[in-house]
Structure 1
């Protein structure tokens, strides 16, 4: 069964495009882009995820990231 998102494809694509445009506008290379995105992700986890749930959510995020990065 496919995972149902609460966000539309249009919402997701619009946000992704804005992120890419920002990285390109700042001429961020791969390393700087990964550093910036990593810090954004870490901040989201620490500020928006309950401490009791954080480790499990980080682990799940890492699994999905690894699967996504290796399947392309």
Structure 2
């Protein structure tokens, strides 16, 4: 069953392009970009998610990341 998002593909793609532009315009290395993006995800979860479900959200995020990488191998 496909996942239905409350955000349009355009909204998602525009935000991703903006994030990638910052990384590219600053000539950030891959490892620094991953560290910064990981810290950003951690901060977003920490600042916006109720304490009792933070771990669940982080696991869902990690699982989605792994699934997206597996899907790109097909």
Find the counterpart in structure 2 of residue 29 from structure 1.
Answer: 29
- What's the RMSD between the two structures over aligned residues? 0.9
5 Å-filtered alignment, 1:1-72, equals 1-72=1-72
Structure 1 unaligned runs (5+)? none
Unaligned runs of 5+ in 2: none
> How many residue pairs get matched?
72
Q: TM-score, normalised by structure 1?
A: 0.93
Query: Taking structure 2 as the reference length, what is the TM-score of the superposition?
Result: 0.91
Query: Would you identify which runs of 4 or more consecutive aligned residues in structure 1 move more than 2 Å?
Result: none
